[in-house]
């Protein structure tokens, strides 16, 4: 079991620790609802050091990333981040990821913790085929970097106090190299997995403790709170953000998952599986990942069956929870064609009872709910 640069602080603060993706991680501190609301209204801090980071460098860097990912890397400029996914060569998804363009020959790929080894083998295989030097031009820095996600509407205001350059007006999905809390060459980005605003800060492991202390000192006046994986999950689900292993996987395509917007069929974007995915886009699919809201009382969970009014199987729940922000039970799941329209009634089979729900547009949580 691996520890992160911040594990000592989680334990000292009394977090409930659990194993996750090979790491000793905090599940919660003061409770899911408390941490969730703190992030939506003030500042919540998440240790996301378990995420993986791969550097892609050299004259073939662009070509490799363009081949491996469905989005169009040519749209990136220095300081821009892109959400994308790795198609697996048979219509499914190896992983979803973030692509950071440092410059024309340097990219940073940020991948999911549970998939680091799998993603690395996939990237390395294709890098070797292109004649790239694995270990140098493609480099796995996952064990060298720690990361804090400082999320919430007051996050950038607080972090500005310890940054050497303006960050408060950064655009969504951009990044800067900054000196933060005296730590040089930190990467500060504005992507986020909560929909609450804020930033992610990447530093070397040895600088982790210094960063943690500075972040919490800077945020003290704004009601900053440490948060665990449980609140991170309820926050991302309210936004309709996919979780790998639940909502997306090797058996579902990005078109089926509603990720057509990151699947760009542009000129010269000849990514893996392009012909297959383009065919799905043009001809349609028989199942789609849709959001739903419970009408009857009950909490949907991963793996629960979705049925029609006659009890016929029409899908399966991929994620579900009770939303602290809107006080409703919500979920996502793959649903058969014919049941996709907003307002369509479906049923979730919970403990042998078919409970009524309806298809809704995601995100579940919107600004008007604040």
- Measured N-to-C along each axis, helices 61-68 and 116-129 cross at an angle, to the nearest 10 degrees, of 120
Q: Which CATH number fits domain 286-369: 2.40.30.110, 3.20.20.70, 3.40.50.720, 3.40.50.1820?
A: 2.40.30.110
How do the domains of the chain map onto residue ranges?
7-49+143-238, 52-140, 286-369
For 16-72, write each residue's pLDDT tens digit: 999 999 999 999 999 999 999 999 999 999 999 999 999 999 999 999 999 999 999
pTM across the whole model? 0.96
> What class is the 7-49+143-238 domain?
alpha beta
The parts of the chain modelled with pLDDT lower than 50 are 368-370
Q: What percent of the chain has pLDDT over 90?
A: 99
**Per-residue b or e along 154-168, where b marks 16 or more CB atoms closer than 10 Å to that residue's CB:** bbbbbbeebbeeebe
Q: Cα angle at 197 between 193 and 199, to 5 degrees?
A: 75
pLDDT of amino acid 355: 98
pLDDT of amino acid 370: 38
Residue 189 near residue 171 (C-beta atoms within 8 A): no
pLDDT of amino acid 366: 86
pLDDT of amino acid 367: 63
Neighbours of 245 (CB within 10 A): 15
Residue 300 near residue 316 (C-beta atoms within 8 A): no
Residue 271 near residue 69 (C-beta atoms within 8 A): yes
> What class is the 52-140 domain?
alpha beta
Q: How far apart are CA 195 and CA 369, in angstroms?
A: 13
């Amino acid at each position: 079991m691996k520890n992160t640069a911040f594990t000592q602080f989680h334990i000292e603060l009394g977090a409930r620790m659990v194993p996750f993706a090979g790491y000793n991680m905090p599940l919660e501190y003061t409770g899911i609802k408390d941490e969730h609301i703190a992030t939506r209204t003030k500042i919540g801090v998440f240790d996301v050091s378990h995420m993986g980071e791969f550097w892609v460098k050299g004259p073939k860097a662009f070509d490799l990333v363009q081949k491996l990912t469905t989005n169009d890397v040519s749209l990136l400029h220095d300081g821009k981040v892109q959400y994308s996914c790795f198609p697996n060569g048979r219509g499914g998804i190896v992983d979803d990821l973030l692509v950071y363009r440092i410059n024309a020959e340097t990219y940073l790929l940020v991948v999911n913790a549970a998939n680091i080894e799998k993603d690395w083998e996939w990237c390395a295989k294709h890098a070797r085929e292109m004649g790239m030097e694995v270990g140098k031009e493609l480099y796995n820095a996952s064990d060298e970097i720690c990361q804090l996600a400082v999320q919430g509407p007051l996050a950038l205001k607080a972090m500005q106090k310890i940054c050497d350059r303006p960050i408060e007006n950064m655009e969504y999905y951009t990044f800067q190299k900054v000196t933060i809390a005296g730590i040089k060459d930190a990467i500060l980005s504005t992507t986020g997995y909560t929909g609450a605003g804020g930033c992610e800060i990447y530093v070397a492991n040895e600088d982790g403790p210094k960063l943690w202390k500075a972040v919490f000192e800077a945020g003290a006046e704004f009601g900053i709170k440490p948060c665990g994986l449980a609140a991170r999950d309820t926050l991302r689900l309210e936004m309709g953000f996919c979780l790998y292993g639940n909502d997306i996987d090797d058996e579902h395509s990005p078109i089926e998952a509603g990720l057509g917007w990151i699947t760009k069929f542009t000129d010269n974007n000849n990514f893996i599986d392009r012909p297959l995915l383009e065919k799905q886009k043009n001809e349609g699919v028989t199942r789609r990942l849709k959001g739903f809201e419970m009408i009857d009382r009950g909490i949907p969970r991963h793996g629960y069956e979705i049925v029609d009014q006659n009890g016929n199987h029409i899908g399966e729940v991929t994620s579900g929870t009770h939303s602290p922000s809107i006080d409703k039970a919500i979920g996502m799941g793959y649903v058969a064609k014919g049941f996709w329209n907003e307002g369509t009634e479906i049923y979730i089979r919970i403990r042998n009872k078919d409970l009524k729900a309806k298809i809704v547009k995601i995100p579940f949580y919107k600004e008007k709910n604040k």
